[in-house]
Amino acid sequence: MILLTIAVIGIDAYGVNISQELEHQTGRSIDFSTVHTTLKRLEDKGFLHSKMGGATKERGGRRKRFVSITSIGYKALRESQGVRNKLWSQIPIQFQIKSI
């Protein structure tokens, strides 16, 4: 989900706007700490690539860590989408209609 959100934001994704975007998109409030840890894990897996940005005043002079999706990450996203699509397509018709 987070990986997807990062893909949605595109460039300039970092901790704060990811969690805000998630909140926005899902309507659920999401802990920043969860986001932070997940980012860390995703980076360790090689799905993300991160670099430090410039310092801004509103952050008390601290730099941001921008993240972007690597090709492996993109591939993983794709794969999961493929799996989902495949699963969706196998749900019986009546349920599909009902849910719509």
Partner 1 sequence: MPPKWARKILAWSCPKDSLEEVQGDLLELYNYWLETEGEREANKKYILNAIRLQRPFSKVQGKPSIKFNMSAMLKHFSVVAYRNVMRSRSFSLINIVGLSLGLASSLMILLWIMHERSVDNFHTNNTQLFRVYTNFTNQGQIMDAGYNTPAMLPAELKKEIPEIEYATGFVKYFRLSLQDDIYETFRVGDKIEKLKGSRAEKDFFKMFDYKLLAGSAENALTGPQSLCVSRKMAELLFGSADNALGKTVLFDGRKDLIVTAVFENVPNISTDQFDYLMNWDAWVKENPFKQSWGHFGTLSYIQLRPDADWKKVENKMKGFLKSRLGGMTADRKIELGLQRFGDQYLHSKFENGIPTSGRIEYIWIFSGVAALILFIACINFMNLATARAVDRSREIGIRKVVGSSRKNLIWQFISEATLFTFLAVILAVGLVHLFLPWFNELTGKDISLPFGNPYFFLILPLLVIMMGLLTGSYPAFYLSSLKPTKILKGSFVFGHGAVFFRKGLVVVQNVMSVLLLIATLVISRQTNFIQSKNLGYDKENLVYIPLEGDLISKYSIFREEASIMPGIKAVDRCSQFPHAMSFRLPAVEWPGQDPNMMINFALASVGYDFVKVMNLKLIEGRDFSREVKADSTNFLVNEEAVRQMRLKQPVGQQITVFDKKGSIVGVLKDYHTNSLRESIDPIVLDVKEHLNFGTILIRTQPGQTKVAMESLEKICKKINPSYPFLYTFLDEQYGKLYKSEEVISRLANVFAILAIVISSLGLFGLAIFSAEQRKKEIGIRKVLGATLGNILSKFSFDFLRLVFLGSAIAIPISWYVMKGWLQNFAYRIDLAWWIFGLACLITVIISLMTIAMQAVKVGLKNPVEALRTE
Q: Which is nearer to partner 1, 41 or 78 (CB)?
A: 41
Residue 15 found at the interface with partner 1 (CB under 8 A): yes
For residues 67 and 47, give the distance between their C-alpha atoms in angstroms, rounded to a whole number: 10
Residue 12 found at the interface with partner 1 (CB under 8 A): no
Residue 40 found at the interface with partner 1 (CB under 8 A): yes
77, 69 Cβ separation under 8 angstroms: yes
At 28, list the tokens: 């659920």
At 49, list the tokens: 């690539």
Residue numbers of the site for partner 1 (CB under 8 A)? 14-16, 19-20, 31-34, 36-37, 40-41, 44, 52, 58-60, 62-65
